[in-house]
Amino acid sequence: MIRSGPIRVKVFPMQKVIPPELRIDVTAKPLVLSGAALSRADGAVVLLEKTASPGKALQKLPQAAMWRKLLRAHQRSGQESPILVTRLPNRSQTLVAVGFVKPGASGFERLELAGKLAKEVLQPGVARLQLHANEFTAPGERAAALEAVLSAVLAHAAPMPEQKSKPAVAHDLSHVDIADRASPLYDRSRAMAAGNHLARWLAALPPNVLGSIAYRAALQELARREGWSFKFYGIPQLEKIGAGAFLAVARANPHRGAGVVRLTYKPKRTRQGAAGIALVGKGICFDTGGINLKPHRGMYTMHGDMQGSSVAVGTLLALTRLAASYPIDCWLAITENEIGPNAFRPQEVVRALNGVTIQVVHSDAEGRMVLADTLTLASREKPRFVLDFATLTGACVNALTDRYAGAFTNRAGLHDWLQQTGRHSGERVWCFPMDEDFDKELECPGADVLQCTLDSKGDHILASRFLSRFVEASVPWVHFDLAPSERKGGLAHVPTEMTGFGVRYAVHLLGDADALDAQLRSLA
């Protein structure tokens, strides 16, 4: 039976849909690592540069004999440079974790160590936390290591949505004192933490809380709070402009609340001649797979299939907090992928917004359908750079596991920069080829392009070839297939299953306007 008449969708209280702001004071000022300083904190992390003799480095710590004894105990059990944790015998019983940082450690290695240290010290009763590091040999490594620990502490401290009858109190952290001069590095860390928290929180919300209607309302509220303009392309408008690829996916929804949200950030002072950039995100609030229904394991975490969109909006939030000097548009394709009598089916042919006709092969390849029209909307505005984020293909996870994201670009000259930013930021990406001849696989007799192939061979590459048809060729574009968005136990410094992977990366990529200009100019 086809349901008719208005369907009421319950919208949950906004305070549950938008995460609470993290109220932790972060200050950076030079502070000598002494017994007296540590006694003023409830907890501390101490970073030492890893050397051939870790015992020697411990010599400089207060209570050195106690630390060396602890190290020897670990070394007897075969650990060369373990994490050492103990409470100091002072009036605060300060809980201290000591970690050894390998010289030349990668961004990922620093974050992973930082995550372990943060877990040790974020215990109930620890309200005031100090972060210390001794001198490192290479310039910049000390601050980078401290920044990683700050990121990890903020990631661990950020609450995640829960609706328990008796909420658990996770920690008491209220102050972080970094023993270093104030630095833009730490400001950036806080901005990235806010963006990452938003991305993870939204992705973790149950699908009966974050349906497409509630999601749109939450984005409108965020726009009001952050000073972004908000525009919504709803079903009637998408019908009018002919966004057939998006509409095919939204067709089985029992409501007409799906659509494309456009959030716009405008800087107070724009750099001269700075055209805007566009962030695009896949926001499938729940993916059943559609009429080609997913099996139960595959469907279990599909409330997180909107993480591309939450990473895009998390990146927008972080760049807003950092007062980015260029305009940013954020385009979010928001709908469910449902089953039902109206669901789109294999062999249907639909016409996308830019006129390209698509023959449907698999209803679970809905991400590329909604992104197709959203990328057209975004790239028609002629931004100088488009980045899209999506939890798009299982093939990408098969190729990279859930530790790296895949990157695909219509400007191969960007490969080095994209991968270097991954190594540097600690959120790693790997560039895949997307030569034109892959299009052969998507040729089809009855339409311009096949949505995908029947098997999943190289589906991450074919999906990016498919998407490239909907991006104006004159616009540099990078597509990120977010394989690490969901991972048991988290990844690197982030402890939760929904990782918000991509915000930290994108802020490293876009946060320095001069570096971004230089990269884009090199393409000209």
Residue that the structure tokens 């994108």 belong to: 506
C-alpha span between 22 and 259 (Å, rounded): 30
What residues are annotated to the active site? 294, 368
42 contacts Zn ion (rule: CB under 5 A): no
141 contacts Zn ion (rule: CB under 5 A): no
Rounded least distance, CB 379 to Zn ion, Å: 23
Rounded least distance, CB 72 to Zn ion, Å: 54
Given the rule CB under 5 A, which of 31-39, 266-274, 358-366, 455-463 is the region that contacts Zn ion? 358-366
Choice between 385 and 480, CB closer to Zn ion:
480
Q: What is the longest distance spanned by two Cα atoms in the chain?
A: 79
Given the rule CB under 5 A, which of 1-9, 284-292, 306-314, 496-504 is the region that contacts Zn ion? 284-292
3-state DSSP call for residue 338?
Answer: coil
Choice between 364 and 497, CB closer to Zn ion:
364
Choice between 189 and 391, CB closer to Zn ion:
391
Size of the site for Zn ion (CB under 5 A): 3
Give the phi and the psi of residue 334 in degrees, each rounded to 5. Answer: -120, 115
Of residues 408-437, those binding Zn ion (CB under 5 A): none
Asked if residue 357 lies in contact with residue 349, where contact means CB atoms within 8 angstroms, the answer is yes
Rounded least distance, CB 367 to Zn ion, Å: 6
Neighbour-count burial for 58-94, b at 16+ CB within 10 Å, e otherwise:
beebbbeeebbebbeeeeeeeeebbbbeeebeeebeb
Choice between 303 and 493, CB closer to Zn ion:
303
Tokens in use for 11?
């919208």
C-alpha span between 208 and 229 (Å, rounded): 27
Rounded least distance, CB 287 to Zn ion, Å: 4
Sequential DSSP letters for 255-282: SS--EEEEEEE--SSPPTT---EEEEEE
User: How many helical (H) and strand (E) elements, i.e. helices and strands, does the chain have?
Assistant: 18, 17
Rounded least distance, CB 292 to Zn ion, Å: 9
Rounded least distance, CB 302 to Zn ion, Å: 7
Rounded least distance, CB 428 to Zn ion, Å: 24
Asked if residue 288 lies in contact with residue 337, where contact means CB atoms within 8 angstroms, the answer is yes
Give the list of residues 6+ apart from residue 412 with CB closer than 8 angstroms, or none. Answer: none
Rounded least distance, CB 311 to Zn ion, Å: 17
Closest CA to 130 of 90, 159, 102, 72: 90
Q: Identify the H or E element spanning 220.
A: helix 212-226
289: left (phi > 0), else alpha (psi -120 to 50), else beta? left
Residue from the set 147, 287, 336, 459 that interacts with Zn ion by CB under 5 A: 287
364 contacts Zn ion (rule: CB under 5 A): yes
Given the rule CB under 5 A, which of 95-103, 188-196, 279-287, 309-317 is the region that contacts Zn ion? 279-287
Choice between 337 and 499, CB closer to Zn ion:
337
Name residue 53's beta-bridge partners: none
Choice between 291 and 418, CB closer to Zn ion:
291
The number of beta carbons lying within 10 Å of the beta carbon of residue 436 is 8
Choice between 42 and 364, CB closer to Zn ion:
364
Residue that the structure tokens 């101490």 belong to: 46
* Cα dist from 504 to 140, 295, 318, 407, 425, whole Å: 19, 32, 9, 15, 7
* Cα dist from 330 to 241, 325, 412, 483, whole Å: 20, 16, 24, 21
By beta carbon distance, the residue nearest Zn ion is: 364
Choice between 144 and 350, CB closer to Zn ion:
350
> Which residues of the chain form contacts with Zn ion (CB under 5 A)?
287, 364, 366
